[in-house]
Structure 1
Amino acid sequence: MAKSLTKTKIIQITSGRGPAECCWVVAQVLKLFLEAAKLKTIEYSILQRETGVENGTLQSATVQISGTNLTTFLSKWLGTIQWIGVSAYRPKHKRKNWFIGIYEIEQIYGSDIADKDILYQATRSSGPGGQHVNKVSSAIRATHKPTNTQVLVMDSRSQHQNKKLAKIRLIEKVNQTQTKRLKSSIKNQWENHLNIKRGQPTKVFKGSDFKIQKKDKTFKKERGKLKTELQKQLKLK
Protein backbone atom coordinates (compact mmCIF):
# COMPACT_ATOMS: atom_id res chain seq x y z
CA MET A 1 0.00 0.00 0.00
CA ALA A 2 1.44 3.40 -1.03
CA LYS A 3 2.26 5.77 1.80
CA SER A 4 0.56 9.17 1.70
CA LEU A 5 2.98 12.02 1.11
CA THR A 6 3.11 15.03 3.39
CA LYS A 7 2.29 18.22 1.53
CA THR A 8 2.33 21.90 2.42
CA LYS A 9 -0.27 24.47 1.43
CA ILE A 10 -0.85 28.11 2.28
CA ILE A 11 -4.39 29.23 3.04
CA GLN A 12 -5.78 32.73 3.34
CA ILE A 13 -8.95 33.63 5.24
CA THR A 14 -10.12 37.11 4.26
CA SER A 15 -12.98 39.52 4.81
CA GLY A 16 -12.28 41.15 1.45
CA ARG A 17 -13.93 44.56 1.42
CA GLY A 18 -16.32 43.48 4.17
CA PRO A 19 -17.06 45.62 7.27
CA ALA A 20 -16.21 44.93 10.92
CA GLU A 21 -18.79 42.13 11.09
CA CYS A 22 -16.95 40.21 8.37
CA CYS A 23 -13.66 40.79 10.17
CA TRP A 24 -15.22 39.27 13.28
CA VAL A 25 -16.25 36.25 11.20
CA VAL A 26 -12.67 35.85 9.96
CA ALA A 27 -11.42 35.64 13.56
CA GLN A 28 -14.06 33.04 14.45
CA VAL A 29 -13.45 30.95 11.33
CA LEU A 30 -9.68 31.01 11.91
CA LYS A 31 -10.18 29.44 15.36
CA LEU A 32 -12.46 26.73 13.97
CA PHE A 33 -10.18 26.07 11.00
CA LEU A 34 -7.15 25.54 13.25
CA GLU A 35 -9.15 23.31 15.61
CA ALA A 36 -10.30 21.19 12.66
CA ALA A 37 -6.72 20.97 11.35
CA LYS A 38 -5.48 19.84 14.75
CA LEU A 39 -8.09 17.08 14.91
CA LYS A 40 -6.83 15.81 11.54
CA THR A 41 -3.22 15.90 12.85
CA ILE A 42 -2.41 18.65 10.36
CA GLU A 43 0.44 20.90 11.45
CA TYR A 44 -0.02 24.63 11.01
CA SER A 45 1.68 27.97 11.52
CA ILE A 46 0.17 31.43 11.14
CA LEU A 47 2.24 33.40 8.65
CA GLN A 48 0.33 36.67 8.72
CA ARG A 49 -2.50 38.47 10.51
CA GLU A 50 -4.08 41.73 9.45
CA THR A 51 -6.06 43.09 12.37
CA GLY A 52 -9.45 44.70 11.89
CA VAL A 53 -10.66 48.02 13.27
CA GLU A 54 -12.55 46.44 16.17
CA ASN A 55 -10.88 44.49 18.98
CA GLY A 56 -10.70 40.75 18.35
CA THR A 57 -11.31 41.06 14.61
CA LEU A 58 -9.09 40.15 11.66
CA GLN A 59 -9.18 41.57 8.18
CA SER A 60 -7.26 38.54 6.97
CA ALA A 61 -5.09 35.66 8.18
CA THR A 62 -2.66 33.50 6.25
CA VAL A 63 -1.90 29.98 7.50
CA GLN A 64 0.61 27.39 6.32
CA ILE A 65 -0.59 23.81 6.83
CA SER A 66 1.33 20.55 6.40
CA GLY A 67 0.03 17.00 6.40
CA THR A 68 -1.54 14.24 4.35
CA ASN A 69 -4.92 14.34 2.58
CA LEU A 70 -4.93 18.15 2.57
CA THR A 71 -7.07 18.23 -0.56
CA THR A 72 -9.86 16.31 1.18
CA PHE A 73 -9.61 18.49 4.27
CA LEU A 74 -9.65 21.74 2.32
CA SER A 75 -12.56 20.69 0.11
CA LYS A 76 -14.80 21.34 3.13
CA TRP A 77 -13.40 24.82 3.73
CA LEU A 78 -12.26 26.54 0.56
CA GLY A 79 -14.73 28.99 -0.94
CA THR A 80 -17.27 31.35 0.59
CA ILE A 81 -18.20 31.16 4.29
CA GLN A 82 -21.53 32.64 5.41
CA TRP A 83 -22.51 33.80 8.88
CA ILE A 84 -26.14 34.51 9.71
CA GLY A 85 -26.52 36.76 12.73
CA VAL A 86 -27.12 40.17 14.23
CA SER A 87 -24.21 42.58 14.23
CA ALA A 88 -22.63 43.20 17.63
CA TYR A 89 -21.32 46.52 16.35
CA ARG A 90 -24.55 47.74 14.72
CA PRO A 91 -27.45 45.91 16.43
CA LYS A 92 -30.09 47.87 14.49
CA HIS A 93 -28.53 47.04 11.13
CA LYS A 94 -30.99 45.21 8.88
CA ARG A 95 -28.35 43.01 7.32
CA LYS A 96 -28.21 39.50 8.77
CA ASN A 97 -25.97 37.72 6.23
CA TRP A 98 -22.21 38.25 6.23
CA PHE A 99 -19.65 36.61 3.93
CA ILE A 100 -15.91 35.94 3.96
CA GLY A 101 -13.65 33.87 1.72
CA ILE A 102 -11.08 31.09 2.19
CA TYR A 103 -8.55 30.67 -0.61
CA GLU A 104 -5.41 28.70 -1.34
CA ILE A 105 -2.39 30.90 -1.99
CA GLU A 106 -0.34 29.85 -4.99
CA GLN A 107 3.19 29.00 -3.86
CA ILE A 108 6.09 30.14 -5.96
CA TYR A 109 8.35 27.24 -5.01
CA GLY A 110 8.93 24.92 -2.11
CA SER A 111 11.17 25.71 0.86
CA ASP A 112 12.95 22.35 0.64
CA ILE A 113 16.04 22.32 -1.58
CA ALA A 114 17.06 19.09 -3.30
CA ASP A 115 20.75 18.44 -3.94
CA LYS A 116 20.03 18.10 -7.66
CA ASP A 117 18.86 21.74 -7.68
CA ILE A 118 22.18 23.05 -6.32
CA LEU A 119 25.18 23.76 -8.53
CA TYR A 120 28.51 23.84 -6.68
CA GLN A 121 31.53 25.56 -8.21
CA ALA A 122 35.01 25.63 -6.67
CA THR A 123 36.79 28.95 -6.96
CA ARG A 124 39.91 30.57 -5.58
CA SER A 125 39.52 32.35 -2.27
CA SER A 126 40.37 36.01 -2.03
CA GLY A 127 41.42 38.20 0.84
CA PRO A 128 43.97 37.71 3.65
CA GLY A 129 45.88 34.46 3.93
CA GLY A 130 48.84 34.90 1.64
CA GLN A 131 49.74 33.15 -1.56
CA HIS A 132 48.44 29.76 -0.39
CA VAL A 133 44.85 31.08 -0.22
CA ASN A 134 44.99 32.46 -3.75
CA LYS A 135 46.42 29.30 -5.29
CA VAL A 136 44.01 26.76 -3.77
CA SER A 137 40.43 26.61 -5.10
CA SER A 138 38.85 26.08 -1.69
CA ALA A 139 36.01 28.63 -1.90
CA ILE A 140 32.62 27.33 -2.98
CA ARG A 141 29.95 29.16 -4.94
CA ALA A 142 26.57 27.46 -4.58
CA THR A 143 23.69 28.29 -6.90
CA HIS A 144 20.05 27.31 -6.45
CA LYS A 145 19.18 26.60 -10.09
CA PRO A 146 15.37 27.13 -9.93
CA THR A 147 15.75 30.66 -8.52
CA ASN A 148 19.34 31.50 -9.51
CA THR A 149 20.07 32.41 -5.87
CA GLN A 150 23.80 32.30 -5.08
CA VAL A 151 26.13 32.29 -2.08
CA LEU A 152 29.92 32.33 -1.94
CA VAL A 153 31.64 30.68 1.05
CA MET A 154 35.36 30.93 1.80
CA ASP A 155 35.36 30.57 5.59
CA SER A 156 37.61 27.51 5.64
CA ARG A 157 40.62 26.25 3.71
CA SER A 158 38.71 22.98 3.45
CA GLN A 159 36.63 22.79 0.29
CA HIS A 160 34.44 20.11 1.89
CA GLN A 161 33.70 22.32 4.90
CA ASN A 162 32.92 25.31 2.68
CA LYS A 163 30.52 23.15 0.64
CA LYS A 164 28.60 22.17 3.79
CA LEU A 165 28.39 25.81 4.90
CA ALA A 166 27.36 26.89 1.39
CA LYS A 167 24.33 24.59 1.41
CA ILE A 168 23.20 25.86 4.83
CA ARG A 169 23.54 29.50 3.80
CA LEU A 170 21.92 28.90 0.44
CA ILE A 171 18.85 27.37 2.12
CA GLU A 172 18.64 30.39 4.44
CA LYS A 173 18.92 32.82 1.54
CA VAL A 174 16.37 30.97 -0.60
CA ASN A 175 13.93 30.90 2.33
CA GLN A 176 14.40 34.63 2.89
CA THR A 177 13.70 35.26 -0.78
CA GLN A 178 10.68 32.97 -0.60
CA THR A 179 9.30 34.86 2.41
CA LYS A 180 9.59 38.19 0.58
CA ARG A 181 7.93 36.78 -2.53
CA LEU A 182 5.26 35.07 -0.46
CA LYS A 183 4.34 38.33 1.29
CA SER A 184 4.08 40.04 -2.08
CA SER A 185 2.02 37.15 -3.45
CA ILE A 186 -0.29 37.22 -0.42
CA LYS A 187 -0.86 40.95 -0.88
CA ASN A 188 -1.53 40.62 -4.62
CA GLN A 189 -3.88 37.66 -4.24
CA TRP A 190 -5.69 39.31 -1.33
CA GLU A 191 -6.45 42.24 -3.62
CA ASN A 192 -7.90 39.78 -6.15
CA HIS A 193 -10.20 38.37 -3.47
CA LEU A 194 -11.60 41.68 -2.25
CA ASN A 195 -15.01 40.96 -3.74
CA ILE A 196 -16.32 37.84 -2.00
CA LYS A 197 -18.72 35.65 -3.96
CA ARG A 198 -21.92 35.24 -1.96
CA GLY A 199 -23.52 32.31 -3.75
CA GLN A 200 -23.32 28.67 -2.65
CA PRO A 201 -21.28 29.00 0.56
CA THR A 202 -19.04 26.09 1.59
CA LYS A 203 -20.09 26.46 5.23
CA VAL A 204 -22.84 28.39 6.98
CA PHE A 205 -22.64 29.47 10.63
CA LYS A 206 -25.42 30.99 12.68
CA GLY A 207 -25.89 33.08 15.82
CA SER A 208 -23.52 34.74 18.27
CA ASP A 209 -22.27 31.31 19.42
CA PHE A 210 -21.18 30.68 15.83
CA LYS A 211 -22.67 27.22 15.49
CA ILE A 212 -22.48 25.55 12.12
CA GLN A 213 -25.79 25.28 10.31
CA LYS A 214 -26.03 21.67 9.19
CA LYS A 215 -27.75 20.74 6.00
CA ASP A 216 -30.92 18.70 6.36
CA LYS A 217 -29.97 15.23 5.19
CA THR A 218 -33.24 13.54 6.12
CA PHE A 219 -35.01 14.61 2.92
CA LYS A 220 -38.26 14.55 4.93
CA LYS A 221 -40.00 17.09 2.70
CA GLU A 222 -38.94 15.31 -0.46
CA ARG A 223 -40.16 11.96 0.86
CA GLY A 224 -43.46 13.53 1.85
CA LYS A 225 -43.99 14.90 -1.65
CA LEU A 226 -43.15 11.57 -3.25
CA LYS A 227 -45.51 9.77 -0.89
CA THR A 228 -48.37 12.18 -1.73
CA GLU A 229 -47.77 11.81 -5.46
CA LEU A 230 -47.69 8.01 -5.15
CA GLN A 231 -51.00 7.97 -3.24
CA LYS A 232 -52.58 10.14 -5.96
CA GLN A 233 -51.38 7.77 -8.64
CA LEU A 234 -52.76 4.74 -6.77
CA LYS A 235 -56.16 6.42 -6.40
CA LEU A 236 -56.27 7.11 -10.15
CA LYS A 237 -55.76 3.41 -10.84
Structure 2
Amino acid sequence: MTTADYADQIKHLDATLRSIEGVLDLAKLRKDKGELETAASAPDLWDDQAKAQDVTSRLSYVNSEIDRLLGLRRRVDDVSVLLELAQDEEDAGSLAEVGTEITSLAKAIEEMEVRTLLSGEYDEREALVAIRAGAGGVDAADFAEMLLRMYLRWAERHGYATEVYDTSYAEEAGLKSATFTVKAPYAYGTLSVESGTHRLVRISPFDNQGRRQTSFAGVEVLPVVAQTDHIDIPDNDIRVDVYRSSGPGGQSVNTTDSAVRITHIPTGIVVTCQNEKSQLQNKASALRVLQARLLERKRQEEQAKLEGLKTDAAGSWGDQMRSYVLHPYQMVKDLRTEYETGNPSAVFDGEIDDFVEAGIKWRKQRQTDS
Protein backbone atom coordinates (compact mmCIF):
# COMPACT_ATOMS: atom_id res chain seq x y z
CA MET A 1 0.00 0.00 0.00
CA THR A 2 1.37 3.43 -0.95
CA THR A 3 1.82 6.45 1.30
CA ALA A 4 -0.98 8.15 -0.64
CA ASP A 5 -3.32 5.27 0.29
CA TYR A 6 -2.36 5.59 3.94
CA ALA A 7 -2.88 9.36 3.78
CA ASP A 8 -6.39 8.86 2.39
CA GLN A 9 -7.21 6.36 5.16
CA ILE A 10 -5.98 8.76 7.84
CA LYS A 11 -8.05 11.56 6.30
CA HIS A 12 -11.13 9.35 6.42
CA LEU A 13 -10.46 8.36 10.05
CA ASP A 14 -9.99 12.01 10.98
CA ALA A 15 -13.33 12.96 9.39
CA THR A 16 -15.14 10.09 11.11
CA LEU A 17 -13.65 11.02 14.48
CA ARG A 18 -14.69 14.67 14.03
CA SER A 19 -18.22 13.51 13.36
CA ILE A 20 -18.17 11.37 16.53
CA GLU A 21 -16.80 14.30 18.56
CA GLY A 22 -19.69 16.41 17.29
CA VAL A 23 -22.39 13.84 18.08
CA LEU A 24 -21.03 12.99 21.54
CA ASP A 25 -20.45 16.74 22.16
CA LEU A 26 -16.99 16.83 23.74
CA ALA A 27 -17.60 20.37 25.05
CA LYS A 28 -20.73 19.23 26.90
CA LEU A 29 -18.93 16.19 28.28
CA ARG A 30 -16.28 18.50 29.75
CA LYS A 31 -18.98 20.74 31.24
CA ASP A 32 -20.74 17.70 32.73
CA LYS A 33 -17.43 16.53 34.16
CA GLY A 34 -16.97 19.82 36.02
CA GLU A 35 -20.49 19.73 37.44
CA LEU A 36 -20.20 16.08 38.49
CA GLU A 37 -16.80 16.69 40.13
CA THR A 38 -18.38 19.51 42.14
CA ALA A 39 -21.24 17.22 43.18
CA ALA A 40 -18.83 14.40 44.04
CA SER A 41 -16.80 16.66 46.33
CA ALA A 42 -19.84 17.70 48.40
CA PRO A 43 -19.26 16.73 52.07
CA ASP A 44 -22.80 15.35 52.42
CA LEU A 45 -22.68 13.32 49.19
CA TRP A 46 -22.90 9.91 50.87
CA ASP A 47 -25.83 10.90 53.06
CA ASP A 48 -27.90 9.66 50.12
CA GLN A 49 -26.13 6.50 48.91
CA ALA A 50 -28.29 6.04 45.82
CA LYS A 51 -27.57 9.60 44.68
CA ALA A 52 -23.87 9.23 45.52
CA GLN A 53 -23.57 6.05 43.47
CA ASP A 54 -25.35 7.73 40.55
CA VAL A 55 -22.99 10.72 40.69
CA THR A 56 -19.82 8.63 40.94
CA SER A 57 -21.01 6.25 38.20
CA ARG A 58 -21.81 9.08 35.80
CA LEU A 59 -18.51 10.82 36.60
CA SER A 60 -16.61 7.63 35.85
CA TYR A 61 -18.49 7.26 32.56
CA VAL A 62 -17.90 10.89 31.51
CA ASN A 63 -14.19 10.64 32.34
CA SER A 64 -13.98 7.42 30.33
CA GLU A 65 -15.70 8.98 27.30
CA ILE A 66 -13.46 12.06 27.39
CA ASP A 67 -10.32 9.94 27.75
CA ARG A 68 -11.37 7.71 24.82
CA LEU A 69 -12.11 10.67 22.55
CA LEU A 70 -8.90 12.49 23.44
CA GLY A 71 -6.91 9.28 23.14
CA LEU A 72 -8.27 8.59 19.66
CA ARG A 73 -7.61 12.17 18.58
CA ARG A 74 -4.03 11.93 19.83
CA ARG A 75 -3.51 8.63 17.97
CA VAL A 76 -4.87 10.04 14.70
CA ASP A 77 -2.52 13.05 15.00
CA ASP A 78 0.45 10.83 15.90
CA VAL A 79 -0.04 8.41 13.00
CA SER A 80 -0.25 11.34 10.62
CA VAL A 81 3.13 12.60 11.88
CA LEU A 82 4.58 9.08 11.68
CA LEU A 83 3.46 8.80 8.06
CA GLU A 84 5.22 12.08 7.19
CA LEU A 85 8.44 10.86 8.83
CA ALA A 86 8.25 7.49 7.08
CA GLN A 87 7.71 9.26 3.75
CA ASP A 88 10.55 11.75 4.26
CA GLU A 89 13.03 9.10 5.37
CA GLU A 90 11.69 6.38 3.04
CA ASP A 91 11.60 4.06 6.07
CA ALA A 92 9.79 0.80 5.22
CA GLY A 93 9.66 -0.22 8.89
CA SER A 94 7.92 2.98 9.93
CA LEU A 95 5.54 2.65 7.00
CA ALA A 96 4.56 -0.84 8.14
CA GLU A 97 4.01 0.55 11.64
CA VAL A 98 1.68 3.17 10.13
CA GLY A 99 -0.36 0.41 8.48
CA THR A 100 -0.67 -1.54 11.72
CA GLU A 101 -1.76 1.55 13.66
CA ILE A 102 -4.32 2.55 11.01
CA THR A 103 -5.92 -0.90 11.24
CA SER A 104 -6.07 -0.66 15.03
CA LEU A 105 -7.41 2.90 14.90
CA ALA A 106 -10.12 1.98 12.41
CA LYS A 107 -11.39 -0.70 14.80
CA ALA A 108 -11.33 1.62 17.83
CA ILE A 109 -13.09 4.46 15.98
CA GLU A 110 -15.72 2.09 14.64
CA GLU A 111 -16.44 0.94 18.20
CA MET A 112 -16.81 4.57 19.29
CA GLU A 113 -19.03 5.31 16.29
CA VAL A 114 -21.46 2.60 17.40
CA ARG A 115 -22.04 4.56 20.64
CA THR A 116 -23.48 7.43 18.58
CA LEU A 117 -26.26 5.09 17.41
CA LEU A 118 -27.63 4.77 20.96
CA SER A 119 -30.29 7.47 20.95
CA GLY A 120 -33.38 5.63 22.22
CA GLU A 121 -35.53 6.95 25.06
CA TYR A 122 -33.94 4.71 27.69
CA ASP A 123 -30.63 3.86 26.00
CA GLU A 124 -28.53 5.81 28.48
CA ARG A 125 -29.93 3.82 31.45
CA GLU A 126 -28.33 1.03 33.41
CA ALA A 127 -29.51 -2.45 32.41
CA LEU A 128 -31.54 -5.06 34.22
CA VAL A 129 -30.90 -8.49 32.67
CA ALA A 130 -33.00 -11.61 33.24
CA ILE A 131 -31.94 -15.05 31.99
CA ARG A 132 -34.28 -18.05 31.99
CA ALA A 133 -33.64 -21.67 31.06
CA GLY A 134 -35.94 -22.80 28.24
CA ALA A 135 -36.53 -26.13 26.53
CA GLY A 136 -33.79 -28.71 26.95
CA GLY A 137 -33.94 -29.88 30.56
CA VAL A 138 -30.69 -29.91 32.51
CA ASP A 139 -28.74 -28.78 29.42
CA ALA A 140 -30.90 -25.66 29.23
CA ALA A 141 -30.28 -24.91 32.91
CA ASP A 142 -26.55 -25.34 32.37
CA PHE A 143 -26.75 -23.10 29.29
CA ALA A 144 -28.51 -20.39 31.33
CA GLU A 145 -25.62 -20.47 33.81
CA MET A 146 -23.12 -20.23 30.93
CA LEU A 147 -24.93 -17.12 29.64
CA LEU A 148 -24.95 -15.55 33.09
CA ARG A 149 -21.18 -16.01 33.33
CA MET A 150 -20.77 -14.67 29.78
CA TYR A 151 -22.52 -11.39 30.54
CA LEU A 152 -20.84 -10.96 33.92
CA ARG A 153 -17.45 -11.54 32.28
CA TRP A 154 -18.35 -9.01 29.56
CA ALA A 155 -19.17 -6.43 32.23
CA GLU A 156 -15.96 -7.25 34.11
CA ARG A 157 -13.89 -6.79 30.95
CA HIS A 158 -15.34 -3.28 30.59
CA GLY A 159 -14.99 -2.40 34.25
CA TYR A 160 -18.77 -2.21 34.77
CA ALA A 161 -20.18 -2.94 38.22
CA THR A 162 -22.85 -5.64 38.45
CA GLU A 163 -25.27 -6.78 41.14
CA VAL A 164 -26.98 -10.16 41.06
CA TYR A 165 -30.50 -9.91 42.50
CA ASP A 166 -31.69 -13.47 42.14
CA THR A 167 -30.35 -16.88 41.15
CA SER A 168 -32.76 -19.81 41.11
CA TYR A 169 -30.74 -23.02 40.92
CA ALA A 170 -31.90 -26.09 39.01
CA GLU A 171 -31.96 -29.43 40.80
CA GLU A 172 -29.20 -31.24 38.88
CA ALA A 173 -27.04 -28.44 37.48
CA GLY A 174 -27.22 -24.87 36.25
CA LEU A 175 -29.90 -22.25 36.78
CA LYS A 176 -33.62 -22.02 36.27
CA SER A 177 -33.28 -18.22 36.15
CA ALA A 178 -31.10 -15.31 37.18
CA THR A 179 -31.58 -11.55 37.38
CA PHE A 180 -28.82 -8.96 37.63
CA THR A 181 -28.04 -5.33 36.88
CA VAL A 182 -25.18 -3.80 34.91
CA LYS A 183 -24.42 -0.46 36.53
CA ALA A 184 -23.00 1.64 33.74
CA PRO A 185 -24.42 4.47 31.62
CA TYR A 186 -25.78 3.19 28.27
CA ALA A 187 -25.71 -0.40 29.52
CA TYR A 188 -29.36 -0.78 28.50
CA GLY A 189 -28.90 0.67 25.02
CA THR A 190 -25.86 -1.54 24.53
CA LEU A 191 -27.21 -4.82 25.88
CA SER A 192 -30.82 -4.46 24.70
CA VAL A 193 -29.83 -6.08 21.38
CA GLU A 194 -29.05 -9.25 23.38
CA SER A 195 -32.75 -9.78 24.15
CA GLY A 196 -34.10 -12.94 22.59
CA THR A 197 -33.89 -16.71 22.61
CA HIS A 198 -30.37 -18.15 22.57
CA ARG A 199 -29.80 -21.70 21.26
CA LEU A 200 -27.02 -24.12 22.20
CA VAL A 201 -26.08 -27.26 20.23
CA ARG A 202 -23.51 -29.62 21.76
CA ILE A 203 -22.78 -33.15 22.95
CA SER A 204 -24.58 -33.16 26.27
CA PRO A 205 -22.27 -33.66 29.26
CA PHE A 206 -25.34 -34.93 31.12
CA ASP A 207 -26.22 -37.69 28.62
CA ASN A 208 -24.41 -40.96 29.40
CA GLN A 209 -24.88 -42.01 25.76
CA GLY A 210 -23.04 -38.92 24.50
CA ARG A 211 -25.86 -37.72 22.27
CA ARG A 212 -26.13 -34.28 20.73
CA GLN A 213 -28.55 -32.00 22.54
CA THR A 214 -30.21 -28.72 21.54
CA SER A 215 -31.24 -26.44 24.39
CA PHE A 216 -32.59 -22.91 24.72
CA ALA A 217 -32.40 -19.98 27.12
CA GLY A 218 -34.18 -16.63 27.05
CA VAL A 219 -32.50 -13.28 27.71
CA GLU A 220 -34.54 -10.22 28.62
CA VAL A 221 -32.95 -6.76 28.97
CA LEU A 222 -34.83 -3.90 30.64
CA PRO A 223 -33.91 -0.30 31.51
CA VAL A 224 -33.41 0.36 35.20
CA VAL A 225 -36.10 2.63 36.59
CA ALA A 226 -34.97 6.19 37.35
CA GLN A 227 -36.34 8.54 40.00
CA THR A 228 -38.01 10.58 37.25
CA ASP A 229 -40.12 7.60 36.12
CA HIS A 230 -43.65 7.46 37.45
CA ILE A 231 -44.47 3.84 38.16
CA ASP A 232 -47.24 3.76 40.73
CA ILE A 233 -47.65 0.38 42.47
CA PRO A 234 -50.43 0.47 45.07
CA ASP A 235 -49.88 -1.90 48.00
CA ASN A 236 -53.14 -3.73 47.27
CA ASP A 237 -51.89 -4.51 43.73
CA ILE A 238 -49.09 -6.74 44.99
CA ARG A 239 -48.80 -9.93 47.01
CA VAL A 240 -45.54 -10.45 48.91
CA ASP A 241 -44.44 -13.97 49.89
CA VAL A 242 -41.31 -14.82 51.85
CA TYR A 243 -39.48 -18.14 51.80
CA ARG A 244 -36.11 -19.70 52.49
CA SER A 245 -33.47 -19.00 49.84
CA SER A 246 -32.26 -21.89 47.72
CA GLY A 247 -28.79 -22.52 46.40
CA PRO A 248 -25.48 -24.14 47.33
CA GLY A 249 -25.38 -25.15 51.00
CA GLY A 250 -23.49 -23.32 53.69
CA GLN A 251 -24.69 -19.85 52.74
CA SER A 252 -26.13 -17.73 55.54
CA VAL A 253 -28.93 -16.66 53.19
CA ASN A 254 -30.26 -20.22 53.43
CA THR A 255 -30.84 -20.15 57.20
CA THR A 256 -33.77 -17.70 57.37
CA ASP A 257 -36.91 -16.88 55.39
CA SER A 258 -35.20 -13.92 53.71
CA ALA A 259 -36.10 -14.57 50.06
CA VAL A 260 -38.97 -12.48 48.66
CA ARG A 261 -41.45 -13.18 45.87
CA ILE A 262 -43.66 -10.31 44.69
CA THR A 263 -46.70 -10.93 42.48
CA HIS A 264 -48.21 -7.97 40.66
CA ILE A 265 -51.86 -8.98 40.69
CA PRO A 266 -53.19 -6.83 37.78
CA THR A 267 -50.60 -8.13 35.30
CA GLY A 268 -49.57 -11.46 36.82
CA ILE A 269 -45.89 -10.46 36.72
CA VAL A 270 -43.87 -12.34 39.34
CA VAL A 271 -40.39 -11.33 40.50
CA THR A 272 -38.13 -12.86 43.12
CA CYS A 273 -35.00 -11.80 44.95
CA GLN A 274 -33.00 -13.99 47.33
CA ASN A 275 -29.36 -12.98 47.11
CA GLU A 276 -29.34 -10.52 50.04
CA LYS A 277 -29.24 -11.64 53.67
CA SER A 278 -31.98 -9.20 54.70
CA GLN A 279 -35.64 -9.69 53.81
CA LEU A 280 -36.01 -5.89 53.54
CA GLN A 281 -33.10 -5.68 51.11
CA ASN A 282 -34.55 -8.47 49.00
CA LYS A 283 -37.97 -6.78 48.98
CA ALA A 284 -36.44 -3.46 47.87
CA SER A 285 -34.50 -5.19 45.07
CA ALA A 286 -37.59 -7.15 43.98
CA LEU A 287 -39.62 -3.93 43.82
CA ARG A 288 -36.94 -2.36 41.59
CA VAL A 289 -37.16 -5.34 39.24
CA LEU A 290 -40.97 -5.14 39.22
CA GLN A 291 -40.83 -1.42 38.44
CA ALA A 292 -38.46 -2.10 35.53
CA ARG A 293 -40.82 -4.75 34.12
CA LEU A 294 -43.83 -2.45 34.44
CA LEU A 295 -41.88 0.39 32.81
CA GLU A 296 -41.00 -1.86 29.88
CA ARG A 297 -44.62 -3.02 29.63
CA LYS A 298 -45.77 0.61 29.55
CA ARG A 299 -43.19 1.43 26.87
CA GLN A 300 -44.30 -1.49 24.71
CA GLU A 301 -47.97 -0.57 25.07
CA GLU A 302 -47.26 3.01 24.01
CA GLN A 303 -45.19 1.80 21.07
CA ALA A 304 -47.97 -0.62 20.07
CA LYS A 305 -50.49 2.21 20.05
CA LEU A 306 -48.26 4.21 17.72
CA GLU A 307 -47.80 1.27 15.40
CA GLY A 308 -51.39 0.10 15.61
CA LEU A 309 -50.24 -3.31 16.79
CA LYS A 310 -51.23 -5.43 19.75
CA THR A 311 -48.35 -5.66 22.18
CA ASP A 312 -46.93 -8.90 23.49
CA ALA A 313 -44.89 -8.42 26.63
CA ALA A 314 -42.81 -11.54 25.92
CA GLY A 315 -42.44 -11.01 22.20
CA SER A 316 -39.44 -8.72 22.44
CA TRP A 317 -37.29 -11.57 23.77
CA GLY A 318 -39.16 -14.62 22.56
CA ASP A 319 -37.61 -14.84 19.10
CA GLN A 320 -34.52 -16.94 18.42
CA MET A 321 -31.61 -14.64 17.71
CA ARG A 322 -28.31 -16.49 18.22
CA SER A 323 -26.97 -20.03 17.91
CA TYR A 324 -23.98 -21.40 19.81
CA VAL A 325 -22.81 -24.59 18.11
CA LEU A 326 -20.14 -26.72 19.80
CA HIS A 327 -20.73 -29.91 17.79
CA PRO A 328 -20.24 -31.08 15.05
CA TYR A 329 -18.38 -27.80 14.38
CA GLN A 330 -17.49 -24.70 16.42
CA MET A 331 -19.46 -21.55 15.63
CA VAL A 332 -21.50 -18.78 17.21
CA LYS A 333 -23.82 -17.01 14.76
CA ASP A 334 -26.29 -14.17 15.16
CA LEU A 335 -29.33 -15.02 13.07
CA ARG A 336 -30.36 -11.37 12.59
CA THR A 337 -27.08 -9.76 11.59
CA GLU A 338 -25.39 -12.87 10.13
CA TYR A 339 -22.28 -12.02 12.18
CA GLU A 340 -20.44 -15.16 13.26
CA THR A 341 -17.23 -16.41 14.84
CA GLY A 342 -15.54 -19.78 15.08
CA ASN A 343 -14.39 -19.25 18.69
CA PRO A 344 -17.27 -20.09 21.09
CA SER A 345 -14.87 -20.33 24.05
CA ALA A 346 -13.98 -16.66 23.73
CA VAL A 347 -17.65 -15.71 23.38
CA PHE A 348 -18.61 -17.60 26.53
CA ASP A 349 -15.72 -15.83 28.26
CA GLY A 350 -17.38 -12.48 27.59
CA GLU A 351 -15.96 -11.47 24.20
CA ILE A 352 -19.31 -10.41 22.70
CA ASP A 353 -18.56 -6.81 21.66
CA ASP A 354 -18.56 -7.62 17.95
CA PHE A 355 -21.99 -9.27 18.27
CA VAL A 356 -23.32 -6.32 20.27
CA GLU A 357 -21.98 -3.75 17.77
CA ALA A 358 -23.42 -5.67 14.83
CA GLY A 359 -26.76 -5.86 16.65
CA ILE A 360 -26.84 -2.11 17.33
CA LYS A 361 -26.11 -1.34 13.66
CA TRP A 362 -28.76 -3.86 12.55
CA ARG A 363 -31.35 -2.28 14.84
CA LYS A 364 -30.51 1.24 13.64
CA GLN A 365 -30.80 0.13 9.99
CA ARG A 366 -34.22 -1.41 10.68
CA GLN A 367 -35.38 1.81 12.31
CA THR A 368 -34.11 3.82 9.33
CA ASP A 369 -35.79 1.51 6.81
CA SER A 370 -39.11 1.67 8.64
Taking structure 2 as the reference length, what is the TM-score of the superposition?
0.34
Q: TM-score, normalised by structure 1?
A: 0.50
Name the structure with the higher strand share: 1
